[in-house]
Structure 1
Amino acid sequence: MSEGHATERNDTGSRRWALWATLLLLVVALLVVLVFLTREYEEARDQQALEQEAAAVVGDIRNELVRNVQTLQSLNSVSPTADSWSAPAAELLAQHRELVRLEWRDNAQRIISHRDTPYLSDVFAYLDRTRAVADVKLACDNAQRQSGPAYSSSYFWPMRDGLGLELMEMCMPVVRSGVPNGFLVATYSLPGILSEFTRPDALRSRGLSFNDADGTRLALHRMVPGTRRTLSANAVLELPGHTLILQLQSPRLVGGLFPNVLTAVISALSLALLAVLALLARDTRLRQRAELGVADALAFRKAMEDSLVTGLRARDMTGRITYVNPAFCEMVGLSAEQLIGTGLPAPWWPPELVDEYQQRQLVRLAGQTLPREGYESVFQRSDGTRFPVLIIEAPLIDAQGKQTGFMSAILDLTEQRRVEDLNRTSQERLQATARLATVGEMASLLSHELNQPLAAISSYASGAMNLLEQPAASVPQADLSQAMKRISEQAERAGRVIKSVADFVRRREQVREAVSPQDLMDAIQPLLVLQAKKQGIQLQIGIAPGCPAVHCDRTMVEQVLLNLARNGMQAMPQGDPALGQGARVLRIAVHQTRLHSGLRPGGDQHKAWITFEVSDHGLGLSPEVQAKLFTPFFTTRTEGMGLGLSLCRTVIEQHGGALTYEPNQPRGTVFRFTLPAHLSSRP
């Protein structure tokens, strides 16, 4: 019994699957028949419409040719002579691009006058016009027999560079006062006829060409785009003396439904509706999951934006604020409700800078600056305090790729500026400390040097007092004047020594100015002469003639020169057996160079630079010392601080130059640094 039920269930299942398979086959067969009938119907309808359009195009071409005949007939009537005929013919050619050439021939078909089209150059330059005599003669003979216009067969006319045109001659007799007055020959370009005598809107995405009776393509105006199957319709253009076949091609289109299969379509649409409902329920579930994912992503992005210390600001294309994050609100001291919707001028702009910022924003909103370009500005908080910011802007692009506004990231530079000021102050203190240490080492030398001018002043003053104690008549005025002059010279000498030390030690704001190399040397020379005299070193200073002024901070550069010169003197100790008395020479040379080989990457390689060289004949630098030469607090002297060369390199790099060194010959070291030449003094 169970075996019977199982067999029955199997039979029922087999019949059900057979019914579903039959239904599926019937539906598929119905759809195939429907598609086939629809395509056949649509193809027949499109073919009929295409043939009608081809006939309409032929009619348009025929009408235009008739109008041209009427226009050409009036040409010789208003211009009876060859001289007066040329200008109207040129004007006619300028108005009709399909015409390549106009000729007025006599009764023997000899050319009286002719004009070529201005739109094509050298049409008959490659081959002589006489090659077309046979076609012209045939057309003119037919025109004479018919007493009206006649056309020749089309022919291919080669041109330069492998180009060519398919031409056709039209000839009509010219009669004046009932007497034959020659022939008017018009040379047509078949591509020109197709392009000038057809409507572009009627040929949208369609192909158009002239064919010969045997199917040979003579001229092509357009081709069917793509590789789809096409429909083709031919129409005959009958002209007096010649016949052309116009071919119109169109992509095969399928549209509409066959009316007799409406019931089948409704059934198919019902089945499709059930499938669409099932897909819609599935899509709804997917959409809900997607919305939950989007909500989570928005919450995550909101949390990130709220935690940023960088201010974010979004604006539309008119400059109105559409979004701000809490960091930006905290920067300017205004709430999001106070900021969103506001435009230009912005409430955080300083009042005195509103006009400048307004112009800058108009330029940026107009798209005249590159996106993602950072620039610095100054904002004002709601309490009136100012703070520097760095603004980085980029265009806001929506999902369709259209720009809807600008997104800005604003960085508060207050802390950065404070750190920079602290670093600058520390650097200035280090430089001042180094200068004070240098002056301390030279205090004994200064006292010794000042004793000389002071002793001389005392001696000259005593002599002057002795002269003044004598009777007035016997006092030699020349000796008294000479004594006063010597006192003044020695006082100035002592003043220069003291002033050079005072200027060197004094702390002040860094000011870049134009300073001549000679002035730099004059400022430090008294200090260098003191130490050189004490150590028995010969000092040589050479400045190249015509050397321009340098653009620098005078005090800082003087410190660099003084440090390098003192290091060079200390590198040549007394009692060195390798150095004779005449070999202990410190040389300072200054010259101009056009290409600065020591520039940092990205520097200007074409402006003028002034090179300073300090050369000594000391023991040189060992590899160990070279590895740590510019390291702060590294020194080879027991009494040194190790800041001299480090500060020197910092000062030179702040001026845009570089400090380098190399071995001197036969021994010693050459320190070399560069400074930019002043603009007004560069050659």
Structure 2
Amino acid sequence: MNKLVSSIAQQNPIKWFRKIRGFRLVYTPLLAIVIFTAVMGVILGTLQLQEKHQQEAAIFRELSFAKQRIQLRMINNSETLSAISRDYVSGYDQVKIKESAVDQAIHMVASNHEIAKVIWLSPSRQIQWQVPAVNTKKEALDRYQSTPDVEKALQRTVNLSLETNRPAFSQFIPLESNSENTGSKDVRNVFWEVIPNPGADNSNGIFAVLYTTQGLLGMIPSELKAMYRFTLIADEEKVIAISSDKNTPRRALSNQTTLDMGAFSPNLTLRIDSYPPPTNVTFRMLIAVTLGLSAFVIWSLWSVLKQMQVRQEAEANLRKETSFRNAMENSTPVGIRAHDMEKRITYVNRAFCEMTGWSSEELMGLAPPFEFWPDSRKDELSEKMNEAFLSSFSSENKIGIEGMIVRRDGAQIHTRTFISPLINEKGIQTGWVASLIDISEPKKIREELVASQDRFVTVMEGLDAAVSVVSIDKGELLFANRFYREHFGEGATGHFQLAGGEPEQNSMRELGEELNDFDQTIPPSYLLQEAESEEIELPGVTNTWYEVRRRFIPWVDGHLAQILIATDITERKHADDISRQQDERMQFTSRLTTMGEMASSLAHELNQPLSAISNYCMGVVKRLQGYSDPAIEKDILPALEKASEQAHRAATIIQRIRGFVKRSEPQRQSTDIALIINDAVGLVEIEAHRQRLSITSNVATDLPMVELDPVLILQVLVNLLKNALDSVRDVYPLSSRWSAPPVTISADLDTGSFPATLRIQVTDAGSGIPENIIERMYEPFFSTKNDGMGMGLNICRSIVESHHGRLWAKNHMDAEHTKMIGCTFTILLPIDSPDSERAIANA
């Protein structure tokens, strides 16, 4: 056979080679199919193994969840009974305590299906009472509860619990019945739990609970029991409870764990078995693999046929292209040379030989640095060439690299080289092809133009003013420096804005049309005309000012253009504004100083008459206390005491305001904020009723005591409530105030920040506060009322901030967000005083 093959190969080697290549093309798809099948088998096995691991992890997670649920329920039951026992033992009124304990036990049995019965045993271990007293739903427990096994198990558990003073469990007790209707799966196995009284005082009695094993499985959610079967197993693999009688398939997964319910609980194991749903993943995967293999075979055969046709056409085209390229390379004036992967020259055309003065034989095999490079630039040109070879695939190579060639006669030629990778028919790079163009003359002209342009651009770009030139006839931007582009963009819009806007643009167009109508040179008067320097603020840009100068000039194309120079003078304008604002602040400071002096004088002058009023009132009270008239004790004495108290409070308020003027700290004390709110509402309610309005308060319960100055905070709340009443009064006329919503004051804890703060809010349904006023309403002497001094909200904010708190206002909008329907003032006060915080920080 080997001789026959060798003889055929010797007679027609080309035909034999084609047959070998044909066999290779035929067997390639078969090999691909085999590899593809093996890979798919590995993938299927991996997916199946991964699915099994995920199912095992899910079973373990659900088993752990069920175990924790049962243990937590048992612990919760024990703690609940311990609490009931503690209250039952420590109570004085045994009748009421017993009724409460029985009610709690009834509620516990009703809400916990695993509990069959709760028993209270006397010190002599006799049943004093039990829940339920008459069992209707679980009659099997009542019938078998008095069996010897159940009673013995109860006695042993009680002894164990009393000896250890800890909850104890009995062993599992199977219930048997001679009747088919008395037995029930729910109560087939039971066990006792005895819970001693806290503090080891069991002289008054002890609790015992009868659990059903099937009830333990009832603690597991029904969703899990629908997906898995749960089983309780005692010692020696004895099944004492099961969630379902449905059998699990052979391929079902299972897991189990020990269920520990206490220190003396019996050995109990919780087992889980899965019900895996039926699936046809394997069948579908087989179908997908079959279809994929079939498609792959068809595509492979079609590719082989097309490839053979393409190769035959490529061979013919390659011969034609080779002839064409040879003719083109010999006729082109562009020098071409080729390099191999070691950068040696492997080919040069005739133009390159003429460009260097070297023959092709002399150039073949040369490696960089080449002999036709200048000696002073060989290192530079070698580095450029290496970089070009590395980046020959990128778009940066399209611009080429500049170089230099020294002819044999010593003449230097500036060149631009373009390099491309040389790829063979297999798609593998075998070298590079470089094309060179003589750029000596264009380079000289370009360098002169670049030098002139650089001088001009350097001067214009360095100016700190906007310079722009606009065509008169077309209105196009002809030139703009850096400052103009950064501030006005690339268009001519900024030029016309600086020049005066649309009128200036229209006048320039009319001037261009007049010049086009007359065939004459540009009048010199236009070139000499220059506008006065003017200051312009751009429309739509606040606080941006420019000093603008403009004139007409002839442009490089002979047409008339307008040049404009704009200098930014915003800083100078801002300096003038700051100086004016400083003068206004000095005036405000002077008024505040005068007001502080007036406040100190008023405080001093008013304290004496207020003290006298308080003393006179208290003196009259003492004089009237000797009379036994009921009318005096009921009406006159309380009124005089309240008058004295209000006089004292007014003096205290004045004293606090005087302290604020002197920048003194508020006098804090532990205060109930509910009392302050009630006082504020009581003081303002008289005015509210007079205006036919109402006030409601909503104070959260169990608010902590807060360290604050009660008098100053009361003054703040009174001021805010009065402002809210004024806002509602302005919206609702007197005839319709019966329908006005009440002003609401509320207090609660703001837990959105840490630490929590006390939040007080005053809400009204008035017209809200305009945005331009809400920014200035805390300024001194600013008021929207005709008779207001503008110090109310300023003092309120000062009081709140002196308590290290915050005060702000927020408007309420209607559903369409078109109209304000009220406002809310919010106060945040720290619960802990700053002194305690500093003490904690220092500690």
Q: TM-score range by the shorter chain?
A: 0.3 to 0.5
**Which structure is higher in RCO with an 8 Å CA cutoff and minimum separation 6?**
1
Taking structure 1 as the reference length, what is the TM-score of the superposition?
0.33
